[in-house]
């Protein structure tokens, strides 16, 4: 299993940006980043998606159960330093936090391991993903870009939703929180734990808040444009924010390759440990430029499943990183 480091990612970014074999050839990740730019515009120096973000620091301390599922070094029970980034969705770095366009929100976690290596978790507030493949994600974005307010009916987006009925369900089932700290983030993509004996178990991550506080559309619209960012900085300055990192375990027969299908709610959920965020970086804007979180940056004991989105995401994040770093 290929494990991706930051150096690998930078290489991937270069490859996707400059390494196309012949003139005019474009990779799917490039097409996706171009489609994201069509929806949100190009904002130099910012991510093509989840452009508005805030960086913080903290620790992760695993529960004893975590080590029974996976031999990963993040599950030793030692306090592992982490860098986190909360974000609004979309490629517009000034999106108002209460806007519909700011959802889903993101939580990215980078674990700094004792041996100097890093491993990432990149999750968001969707309960399930609107589409199952990178091609469909590109086409969804192109349909959104081709369906501005006032576009003749049926719009391209109406037609896309007709052939992809999970998409409007995924995007419709969202509610704003009163804080980045009071929201649940879901892995959506499936990964696989490997324990010390080599036994494998498919799972999806959940980051569960201490309490879930959701507000109405009307309340969210009245909030200040940076309410989530201002609130999290003030809150963490007073006291650490904690989440329980959990794993929903797949039962035999549960499909791992389709992130549009949540597993039944009665599947076992294991507490993997506590994520504590005790600092928001004062120079968050500069810090986030240097950071690259990749869903496929894994450490031994955690592997990719057959979900095709994971590799597509790695490619698109690397393309976006390559462009925003120029
Ligand atoms: C085909 C599917 C997807 C594509 C193409 C895609 C694309 C992207 C891109 C291009 C970025 C900007 C990366 C950067 O510049 O560093 C991004 C960021 C992000 N994405 Fe996705 N995404 C996909 C699915 C998902 C899913 C399933 C989740 C969560 C379950 C997710 C959560 C996030 C988060 C949290 C960030 C911000 C990471 C950060 O803070 O640096 N994305 N995505």
Q: In this structure, is the dihedral angle defined by the CA atoms of residues 247, 250, 255 and 256, taken in order, positive or negative? A: positive
- In tens, the pLDDT along 121-178 reads 999 999 999 999 999 999 999 999 999 999 999 999 999 999 999 999 999 989 999 9
50 catalytic? Reply is: yes
Burial of 2 (0-12, 13-18, 19+ CB in 10 A): exposed
Backbone φ/ψ region at 197: left (φ over 0), alpha (ψ -120 to 50), beta: alpha
* Smallest CA separation from ligand 1 atom 3, residue: 313
Ligand 1 atom nearest residue 46's Cα: 15
**Any ligand 1 atom below 6 A from CB of 205:** no
Residue from 50, 112, 164, 244 carrying the catalytic annotation = 50
**Any ligand 1 atom below 6 A from CB of 188:** yes
What's residue 25's pLDDT? Answer: 66
- Mean pLDDT, the chain, integer: 93
**Any ligand 1 atom below 6 A from CB of 128:** no
- In tens, the pLDDT along 173-228 reads 899 999 999 999 999 999 999 999 999 999 999 999 999 999 998 999 999 999 99
Mutate to test the pocket of ligand 1, among 34, 42, 90, 106 (most ligand atoms within 8 A of CB): 106
- In tens, the pLDDT along 214-245 reads 999 899 999 999 999 999 999 999 999 999 99
**Any ligand 1 atom below 6 A from CB of 321:** yes
Domain range 6-324, CATH architecture: Beta Barrel (2.40)
DSSP 94-148: T--TTSGGGPSPEEEEEEE-TTS-EEEEEEES-SS-S-SSHHHHHHHHHHHHT--
CA of 196 to the centre of ligand 1 (A): 31
Mutate to test the pocket of ligand 1, among 31, 34, 49, 322 (most ligand atoms within 8 A of CB): 49
The residue ranges of every structural domain in the chain are 6-324
| 319/326 Cα distance (integer angstroms) | 11
The SS3 assignment for 262 reads coil
The answer to whether 103 and 217 have CB atoms below 8 angstroms apart is: no
**Any ligand 1 atom below 6 A from CB of 53:** yes
**Any ligand 1 atom below 6 A from CB of 33:** yes
Model confidence, pTM:
0.94
């Amino acid at each position: 299993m290929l494990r991706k480091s930051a150096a690998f990612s930078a290489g991937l970014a270069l490859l996707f940006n400059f390494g196309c074999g012949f003139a005019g050839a474009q990779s799917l990740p490039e097409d996706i980043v171009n489609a994201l730019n069509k929806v949100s515009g190009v904002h130099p120096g910012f991510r093509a998606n989840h452009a508005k973000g805030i960086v913080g620091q903290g620790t992760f301390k695993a529960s004893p159960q975590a080590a029974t599922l996976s031999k990963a070094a993040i599950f030793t029970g030692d306090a592992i330093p982490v860098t986190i980034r909360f974000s609004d969705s979309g490629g517009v770095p000034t999106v108002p936090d209460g806007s519909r366009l700011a959802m889903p929100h993101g939580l990215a976690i980078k674990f700094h391991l004792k041996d100097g290596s890093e491993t990432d978790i990149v999750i968001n507030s969707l309960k399930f993903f609107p589409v199952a493949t990178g091609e469909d994600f590109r086409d969804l974005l192109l349909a959104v870009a081709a369906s501005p307010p006032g576009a003749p009916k049926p719009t391209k987006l109406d037609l896309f939703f007709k052939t992809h009925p999970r998409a409007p369900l995924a995007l419709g089932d969202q509610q704003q929180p009163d804080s980045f700290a009071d929201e649940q983030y879901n892995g959506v993509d499936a990964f696989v734990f490997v324990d010390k004996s080599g036994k494998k178990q498919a799972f999806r991550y959940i980051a569960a808040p201490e309490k879930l506080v959701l507000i109405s559309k009307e309340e969210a619209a009245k909030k200040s444009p940076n309410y989530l960012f201002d609130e999290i900085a003030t809150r963490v300055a007073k006291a650490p924010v904690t989440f329980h990192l959990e794993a929903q375990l797949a039962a035999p027969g549960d499909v791992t390759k389709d992130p549009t299908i949540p597993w039944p709610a009665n599947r076992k959920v294991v507490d993997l440990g506590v994520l504590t965020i005790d600092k928001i970086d004062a120079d968050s804007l500069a810090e986030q430029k240097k950071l690259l979180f990749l869903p496929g940056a894994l450490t031994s004991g955690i592997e990719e499943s057959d979900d095709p989105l994971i590799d597509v995401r790695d490619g698109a994040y690397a393309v976006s990183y390559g462009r925003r770093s120029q």
